Structure 1
Amino acid sequence: MSRISVRGFAVASATAVTTVGAVVGVASGGTAQPASDNLEAAAADTTLLAEIPAGRQAQVQVASLTQQAEAQAAVADSTAQKSAEEAARVQAAKDAHAKKAAADKEEAEAKAKAKAEAEKEAKEKAEREDAKERSSRSEIRSASAFAPQSSYSVSEVQAMARQMVPGDQFQCFSNIVNHESTWNYKASNPSSGAYGLVQALPGSKMASAGADWQTNPATQIKWGLGYMNERYGSPCGAWSFWQANHWY
């Protein structure tokens, strides 16, 4: 190799090394050197290369190529790192979205389950109350179920009424009887002619429930219950009217 060709190669190699060095410097956060500085460095390196013996020039060339490869590898590593960071960010966003979707689904399922359980409980409660009411109605006894007696105490009359009047209506029925006769099945109003537990006016009306209406409280309860149901819909309906008018 001639000195001219060596010098030309040295200039090219030095320039490439200097340029790569500048690129590496910029990539690592350094400030790129001005072009004039690079040219001066290249000229200096060229002079040095020209002064290197011919046997050593091959080694210098290999070293220059190695530096270029290392610089390119550094740039590639930096790019790969940025790509990896971006991919990690995207994946994290996807994971967060999936986690939120799973949490929303779980919450919706929990609400649906709670609603279903509440509806089931309400249905079961209604069924229990209906069964209780049916049972109460089935236990209601008729007036003929009680054997006639020569006389009855207040507690006996009340016990009969409890067995003849539906459970949810008994208190209203009892309130009316308390005000009308204080549970005296022989109570009589001399001025009006009203008679019995429910003060039927006239008392003979109760004959439609039984011929023993004057002496049998069961017959009087039967008639009074029928009257309240027919005229007011129920004993509680009759009691509401009584509270407003003090008669029924």
Structure 2
Amino acid sequence: MSRISVRGFAVASATAVTTVGAVVGVASGDPQHASGDNVETTASDAVLADIPSGEQAQVQTASLAQQASAQSAAADQAAQKSAEEAARVQAAHDAKAKKQAADDKAAEAAKKAEEAKEAKKAEEALKSATAFAVQSSYSASDVQSIARQIVPADQFQCFSNIVTRESGWNYTAQNPSSGAYGLVQSLPGSKMASVGADWRTNPATQIKWGLNYMNSRYGSPCGAWSYWQVHNAY
């Protein structure tokens, strides 16, 4: 051990003893303790005096360096804990965002699959409309029978609710005020020509056009019926 180190320890020890003795002496009121403290203080002063002033500065500098090192280590540990907590929070956030994205993607896929299914059902129904033989006239029951073969079963009641209120299943019904025509009261009636030139006399053509309209505007006959119940029109 170097001379500086030995003297540093001596100074520290003497100072500690002096401090303790002083505290005990004062607390007890014992003059002997006070006397002893004076001796120890004198010894401490002698040790410090024995160390050259330059070496005293080195000892003080080494002590400050140790304190700075301890403070730096504590700061590094706190920074590490903070970084670990931030990483944990970010990982939780990323996992939540990833799950939400997966859920959204699955919901979108399910929606598209359902839309494709409905479109296919509507397409098949529209194709079947061309299979009906043209008659010179149709009763309400005839028209309903045709509609059951064209409109999907799970949508028929909604379709029927609208047609019943719009035309009473009369394929030649015409609104005297607006000119709306047919089972689904197309306005104007000539819109139904997009499905067939026989739109005035063929209920299958009218049903076909009406189903197309409800699907494109409301998503389905039941969507159209929900709207109708609020507005008494669609």
With structure 2 as the length reference, what TM-score do the two structures score? 0.50
Q: Flag the structure with larger Rg.
A: 1
